[in-house]
Amino acid sequence: MKKLMIRLVLATLFGFMFSSCAGFGQKLKRWMGGQPEPAAQAQAAAASSGPKFSENPYVNPGARRQYRQTKRSIAEESQLESKAGSLWVTEGQGAYLFAQNIMRMIGDPLNIMIEGEPKKQLEAKAKVINDLLKKIELQRLRRLASRAAGLPAEPESEAKGAAGAGGDGDEAELFPVKRVPTRITERLVDGNYRVKGSQPFMIGTREFKVIVTGIVRAEDFNEEGTSASKLLDPSFDIVSSRKGKDGEI
């Protein structure tokens, strides 16, 4: 009887093996490895994926995805500003270039806005130069008048006249420069830029130049202009464009 039972069991096993060897082997491996059946895996995946629209049409689909990029979306994401040095062009072309030109090269222009304490300093220098010019002109006129009349010049009257003429004029009118065009002359190792430039202007009938030098930090670089008060190690000066016959200012 035992032998008969053993033969039946063996026959059943061999029948399963020959009928579906691959399926039986996979089932045996899953059973020995403790893995669940594919049907159970599919049910678990369906349960974890959440509700379906086919089962509940009132489920909130969530935020609407916007796959297509537009001019506005790209501009907002790029945060394009004038101070960023962007190559973005808002009109006049069919294709747009979105690269950020944050690297400045030697020779690139930058306007320095004359305002704040540097403006007061330059206005004071212009006033001093104007007073000296008036004094020199008054002395020259007195010498010419004395030579024409054959009389010696009066030093005291010259000094009084020069002192009285020195207080005329407004400092703001004497120095009308609002901005000075400069160019990058050196790129420093810390990422800052050394700039230098000049702007001519007139004091009376004489031509002068205001010279500006300094260091501009990379974050202060602005296409529209940088304030003179933001310069590091600044230097502001007023010099004559050409000297007179007597070598004076």
Query: pLDDT tens, 149-201?
Result: 765 555 555 445 544 444 455 555 778 889 999 999 999 888 899 999 999 99
Q: Which residue intervals of 152-235 are DSSP H helices?
A: 155-165, 171-174
Is 23 contained in some domain?
Answer: no
Structural domains of the chain, count: 1
Query: pLDDT tens, 32-47?
Result: 665 555 665 666 665 5
pTM of structure: 0.51
Phi and psi at 90, nearest 5°, equal -80, -20
Average pLDDT per 10 consecutive residues for the chain, totaling 249 residues:
72 62 60 60 60 68 71 66 51 51 80 91 90 88 81 52 50 80 91 92 88 90 86 91 53
Residues spanned by the domain of 119: 109-240
Is 206 contained in some domain?
Answer: yes
Strands 109-113 and 232-240: unpaired
Is 60 contained in some domain?
Answer: no
Tell me if 241 sits within 8 A of 208, measured CB to CB.
yes
Is 6 contained in some domain?
Answer: no
> What single letter denotes the amino acid at residue 149?
A
Is 232 contained in some domain?
Answer: yes
CB-neighbour burial class of residue 121 (10 A; exposed 0-12, middle 13-18, buried 19+): middle
Is 197 contained in some domain?
Answer: yes
Is 36 contained in some domain?
Answer: no
Is the dihedral angle over the CA atoms 48, 49, 51, 52 positive or is it negative?
Answer: negative
Tell me if 184 sits within 8 A of 104, measured CB to CB.
yes
Tell me if 213 sits within 8 A of 234, measured CB to CB.
yes
Is 113 contained in some domain?
Answer: yes
